[in-house]
Structure 1
């Protein structure tokens, strides 16, 4: 099942979400690696298996195995980092932010694909998870790599739409 078909199954009260998902499916502005990498990272980031399966099917053959693995890895490591770093940022006791995280996150340093693409995937998932500290860190790296603000905004839009698709679909199915 394609993302568009998956979104078409959403109820009428989520018409805007359906339309936005269709726009993502038809988007040609980011190139296939960024588009399908974002779709895959964000779908995995939702943790909603039916959406993950739909996007995995849609992305098959459109991403290199390395890019698909990097997108999944971005979602996995952000699931961990976003919780940890959101805690250190929000905790009133700043002692936690000075302590070593002691979390393995080697994929961030060696994602197997272009660093800017991996950071874009990580930023979108971090936005979905609401980790301001991670959002700032990834956005800073993206700026250093010359990624325009419009591309950053597009990545966050992918995360917002896929999160909404997963939330609505889970609520009605």
Structure 2
């Protein structure tokens, strides 16, 4: 189970996805922790058992135990936050924006890895889950840490993972 195995499962009509996945993951030039933490957290966020089954072992092999746990934690906490904050944003009654979230988010303050890496993973998960408020929040943290736009887009690129997940899950029903 690996990136190559996942790419081999992509149908011919989605050849662009195969090429993009290879370039985003295979040729990223990122440090292993940033790359594989993003791969793992976005594989989880994609909700695709196929994608997670193929990419998780390789991610685990390339991450320290702390980074592996933190990437999974980023996917988990952002799944919760993305629903809450996206709902808050979408409601036309703006008074909901003043309500206390009341959610435990301790891992954000102490993820067990470099805070910038955790924020990249959170940004990528938030992009998949479509939470603009969370994207803005993580973007601000990254900017304060000195991360430039081009760098943060490259490091948190999740488009390949999500597109492959949607395609392979659709193929499973064909």
1:21–1:162 contact (8 Å) kept in structure 2? yes
How far does residue 28 in structure 1 lie from its aligned partner after superposition? 4.2
Instruction: Please report the RMSD computed on the Cα atoms of aligned residues, expressed in angstroms.
Output: 1.1
Instruction: Give the alignment's TM-score, normalised by structure 1.
Output: 0.95
Q: Distance in 2 between matches of 1:155 and 1:127?
A: 13
Q: Distance in 2 between matches of 1:160 and 1:135?
A: 15
How far does residue 104 in structure 1 lie from its aligned partner after superposition? 1.0
1:13-28 to structure 2, matched below 5 A, reads 13-28=13-28
The residue number in structure 1 matching 2:77 is: 77
Per-residue CA distance 1:72-92 (angstroms, 9 max, x = gap):
111111111111001111111
1:12-51 to structure 2, matched below 5 A, reads 12-51=12-51
1:40-119 to structure 2, matched below 5 A, reads 40-119=40-119
2:144 is equivalent to residue 144 of structure 1 = yes
How far does residue 105 in structure 1 lie from its aligned partner after superposition? 1.0
Q: Distance in 2 between matches of 1:60 and 1:87?
A: 33
The residue number in structure 2 matching 1:164 is: 163
How far does residue 4 in structure 1 lie from its aligned partner after superposition? 2.6
How far does residue 156 in structure 1 lie from its aligned partner after superposition? 4.1
The residue number in structure 2 matching 1:135 is: 135
Q: Distance in 2 between matches of 1:156 and 1:33?
A: 12
Q: Distance in 1 between matches of 2:81 and 2:149?
A: 23
Q: Distance in 2 between matches of 1:128 and 1:155?
A: 14
Q: Distance in 2 between matches of 1:63 and 1:78?
A: 20
After the TM superposition, which parts of structure 1 deviate over 6 Å for at least 4 consecutive aligned residues? none
How far does residue 29 in structure 1 lie from its aligned partner after superposition? 1.7
- Say how many residue pairs are matched: 172
Instruction: Give the alignment's TM-score, normalised by structure 2.
Output: 0.95
